[in-house]
């Protein structure tokens, strides 16, 4: 099932963005150029020293020099950022990685961004809509599918519900649960 959001982002694949958010920079820390990062990714290895990340809407490349955890935040020191004043200019900017740098996944796992935009059908080939969002609930992820009329369907992203995910065909096939009310 999923691991962890028209293409105008520059990727070679239609539904794939060129950049994915890893976290958000917070306040400068100390006087030597460190800055705190609120980490969003489930792949913290993308933030290892010597990794290149891209900061802000213009995706400026920065190389990570050092990292260390301070409670929930990852303190980053970028190569060439050696004082608090320079680090402070990065406050509240998003940190990105290029999609092409993501590690490969086993055949039955997918990144969220690979699934968003796929057409969803039930096992009887009825069109349900487009996967527009994946909700992380804790117990299991939930697919939010919207149809052309603005209706929504929520589908648990569990093996019992997801029959097939075919990225090449651009669709997901799901089994639906029939609910019967009183008197049915």
Tell me which residue of 113, 89, 83, 79 sits closest to 99, measured CA to CA.
113
Q: What is the pLDDT of residue 136?
A: 86
Is-contact 13 170, C-beta < 8 A? no
C-alpha dihedral, 159 to 163 to 164 to 170, nearest 10°: -110
Q: What is the pLDDT of residue 8?
A: 35
Residue 20, token pair as written in the block? 């994915």
Q: What is the CA radius of gyration of the chain?
A: 20
Q: How big is the CA angle at 138 (ends 152 and 168), to the nearest 5 degrees?
A: 55
Alpha helices per DSSP H over 50-171 = 84-88, 112-115
pTM for the whole thing? 0.67
Q: In what order do the strands lie in the sheet with 141-146?
A: 152-156, 141-146, 127-136, 119-122, 171-174, 162-166
Q: What is the pLDDT of residue 111?
A: 86
Question: Could you read off the pLDDT tens digit of each residue along the chain, which spans 184 residues?
Answer: 444 433 333 334 445 578 989 999 999 999 999 999 999 988 889 999 999 999 999 999 999 999 999 999 999 999 999 999 999 999 999 999 998 888 888 888 888 888 999 999 999 999 999 999 999 888 899 999 999 998 999 999 998 999 999 988 999 999 976 666 555 5
- Domains of the chain as residue ranges with CATH: 19-101 (2.40.30.60), 116-174 (2.30.30.240)
Residue 111, token pair as written in the block? 């990144």
CA–CA gap between residue 14 and residue 133 (Å, rounded): 17
């Amino acid at each position: 099932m999923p691991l962890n959001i028209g293409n105008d982002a520059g990727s070679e694949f239609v539904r794939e963005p060129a950049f994915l958010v890893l976290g958000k920079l917070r306040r400068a820390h100390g006087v030597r150029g460190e800055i705190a990062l609120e980490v969003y990714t489930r792949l913290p290895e993308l933030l290892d020293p010597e990794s290149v990340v891209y900061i802000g809407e213009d995706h400026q490349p920065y190389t990570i020099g050092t990292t260390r955890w301070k409670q929930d935040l990852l303190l980053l020191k970028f190569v060439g950022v050696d004082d608090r004043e320079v680090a402070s200019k990065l406050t509240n900017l998003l940190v990105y990685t290029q999609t092409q740098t993501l590690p490969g996944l086993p055949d039955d796992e997918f990144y969220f961004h690979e699934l968003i935009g796929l057409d969803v059908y039930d096992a009887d080939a009825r069109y349900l809509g487009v996967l527009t969002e994946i909700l992380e609930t804790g117990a299991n992820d939930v697919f939010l599918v919207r149809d052309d009329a603005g209706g929504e369907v929520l589908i648990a992203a569990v093996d019992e519900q997801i029959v097939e995910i075919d990225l090449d065909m651009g669709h997901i096939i799901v089994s639906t649960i029939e609910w019967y009310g009183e008197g049915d």
